[in-house]
C-alpha cells in the first residue's frame, strides 16, 4: 500500500505545530522571477496569462521548482469574480486593472449578466498544477473577499482610500448589501470549483479591509466572510480557509472569533508578539515579514525573521510575508529567508 507524503502546510492549517514552520510567499509567482518575465514577454499581458491555463500552470510551478516552497499559490487574479458577475475587465499598461460598467446604481447592478464561463480557465490551471506538484507541496487556491472585490467593482479600478465604495456603503446600504451578497455567493461557487479541480486550501484576500470603521468592518468584512466560510464548510468540509484582512489591526481578534476561518494571515503592520497574545490560543497564523525587509536582506532580514519565529514559537505558524513580494526583490534574499526559516544557517533559533 502506498503511504501518503505529509504536507506540513496542510497539517499546520489543521492546528498541528511544526518543528520548522512551512513557508510560502504571497505573489511568489510573479515579476521578480526572470522565468516569469520571459514567459510574460512571450505570451503578452497579465490577463492573457491568467486565461491561458498552460501558461498559468507553468507560472504557478516556477517558484516551487526554484525554491521548494511548501505551498503553491494559484496564479490568477481576484478580479475574476467581477468578470463572472458580468463586468468587463482589462489592464492598462503601467496603471493596473479597469472594470466597466462601474456599479454605483441599482440599474447597473441589475443589468449585469453573469458569465461563469470566465472562470473555466482558472479551473483548467488548477487541474494542470494538481497533477504536477511535488507530493509534499500543498496547493492553495484563492479569491478576493467581498468588500475588496466590491471596491474595484464600484470604482472601476483600485484606489488607496476606497472612497467611492465607502460613500456608497453609507448612502445606499441596501445596494451595497446586494452587491456584497452577489460577490459572496459567486465566491463560494468559485472556491468550491477550485477545490473540486484540485486545490487543498483556500485564502480570502481582503486587501482593503483596513479602510473601514469598526462598525463597517463588522458589516462588510466579518459578516460576508463568515457567510463564505460557512457555505464552504457545507460543500468542502475538509478544506482549510485562511483569512487575510489586511490592515485590520485591533479588529483581528473579532475577525478570528467571528468568521470561522481556520487560520488568519497577518500583514506587516501587526506586532507578532501582540498577535500571539490577542488571537485565540491554538489558532494557526500566517505571516508576517515586511516585504521591504526581504528587499533589504542582510542582518535586518535575519533579525525580522527571528522576531517572527520567536513570537509564534508556541502556536501553529506558516511563515509568509505581510503582503505580496515586490518585483525588485533579489532572489538571493528569498534564498536567505528560506535558509533562515529552515534553520540551515548556524545560529538560527531552533
- Whether 32 sits among the annotated catalytic residues: the reply is no
Provide the terminal-to-terminal Cα distance of the chain, rounded to the nearest Å: 35
- Whether 190 sits among the annotated catalytic residues: the reply is no
- Whether 66 sits among the annotated catalytic residues: the reply is no
- For residue 163, how many other CB atoms are within 10 A of its CB? 13
Catalytic residue chosen out of the listed positions 27, 128, 166, 340: 27
Catalytic residue chosen out of the listed positions 32, 36, 123, 152: 152
- Whether 152 sits among the annotated catalytic residues: the reply is yes
- Mapping DSSP onto H, E and C, the string for the chain reads CCCCCCCHHHHHHCCCCCCCCCECCCCCCCCCCHHHHHHHHHHCCHHHHHCCHHHHHHHHHHHHHHHCCCEEECCCCCCHHHHHHCCEEEEECCCEEEEECCCCCHHHHHHCCCCHHHHHHHHHHHHHHHCCCCCCCEEEEEEECHHHHHHHHHHCCCCCCCHHHHHHHHHCHHHHHHHHHHHHHHHHHHHHHHHHHCCCEEEEEECCHHHCCHHHHHHHHHHHHHHHHHHHHHHCCCCCEEEEECCCHHHHHHHHHHHCCCEEECCCCCCHHHHHHHCCCCCCEEEEECHHHHHHCHHHHHHHHHHHHHHCCCCCEEEEECCCCCCCCCHHHHHHHHHHHCCCCCCCCC
Catalytic residue chosen out of the listed positions 52, 70, 77, 290: 77
- Whether 123 sits among the annotated catalytic residues: the reply is no
- Mapping DSSP onto H, E and C, the string for 265-327 reads ECCCCCCHHHHHHHCCCCCCEEEEECHHHHHHCHHHHHHHHHHHHHHCCCCCEEEEECCCCCC
Catalytic residue chosen out of the listed positions 40, 66, 127, 307: 40
Catalytic annotation, residues: 27, 31, 40, 77, 152
Amino acid at each position: 500500500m502506498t503511504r501518503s507524503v505529509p504536507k506540513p502546510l496542510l497539517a499546520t492549517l489543521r492546528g498541528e505545530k511544526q518543528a520548522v514552520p512551512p513557508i510560502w510567499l504571497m505573489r511568489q509567482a510573479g515579476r521578480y522571477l526572470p522565468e516569469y518575465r520571459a514567459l510574460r514577454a512571450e505570451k503578452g499581458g497579465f490577463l492573457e496569462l491568467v486565461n491561458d491555463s498552460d501558461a498559468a500552470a507553468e507560472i504557478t510551478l516556477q517558484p516551487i521548482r526554484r525554491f521548494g516552497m511548501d505551498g503553491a499559490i494559484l496564479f490568477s487574479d481576484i478580479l475574476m469574480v467581477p468578470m463572472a458577475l458580468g463586468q468587463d475587465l482589462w489592464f492598462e499598461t503601467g496603471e493596473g486593472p479597469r472594470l466597466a460598467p462601474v456599479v454605483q446604481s441599482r440599474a447597473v447592478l441589475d443589468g449585469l449578466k453573469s458569465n461563469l464561463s470566465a472562470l473555466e480557465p482558472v479551473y483548467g490551471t488548477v487541474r494542470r498544477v494538481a497533477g504536477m506538484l511535488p507530493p509534499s507541496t500543498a496547493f492553495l487556491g484563492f479569491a478576493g473577499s467581498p468588500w475588496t472585490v466590491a471596491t474595484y467593482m464600484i470604482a472601476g479600478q483600485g484606489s488607496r482610500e476606497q472612497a467611492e465604495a465607502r460613500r456608497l456603503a453609507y448612502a445606499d446600504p441596501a445596494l451595497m448589501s446586494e452587491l456584497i451578497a452577489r460577490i459572496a455567493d459567486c465566491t463560494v461557487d468559485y472556491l468550491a470549483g477550485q477545490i473540486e479541480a484540485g486545490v487543498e486550501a483556500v485564502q480570502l484576500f481582503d486587501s482593503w479591509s483596513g479602510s473601514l470603521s469598526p462598525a463597517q468592518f463588522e458589516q462588510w468584512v466579518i459578516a460576508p466572510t463568515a457567510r463564505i466560510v460557512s457555505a464552504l464548510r457545507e460543500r468542502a468540509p475538509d478544506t482549510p480557509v485562511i483569512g487575510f484582512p489586511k490592515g485590520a489591526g485591533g479588529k483581528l481578534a473579532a475577525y478570528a472569533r467571528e468568521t470561522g476561518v481556520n487560520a488568519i494571515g497577518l500583514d506587516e503592520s501587526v506586532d507578532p508578539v501582540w498577535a500571539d497574545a490577542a488571537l485565540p490560543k491554538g489558532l494557526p497564523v500566517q505571516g508576517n515579514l515586511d516585504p521591504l525587509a526581504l528587499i533589504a536582506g542582510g542582518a535586518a532580514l535575519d533579525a525580522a525573521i527571528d522576531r517572527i519565529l520567536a513570537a509564534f514559537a508556541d502556536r501553529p505558524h506558516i511563515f509568509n510575508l505581510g503582503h505580496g513580494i515586490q518585483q525588485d526583490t533579489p532572489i538571493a534574499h528569498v534564498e536567505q529567508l528560506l535558509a533562515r526559516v529552515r534553520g540551515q544557517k548556524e545560529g538560527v533559533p531552533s
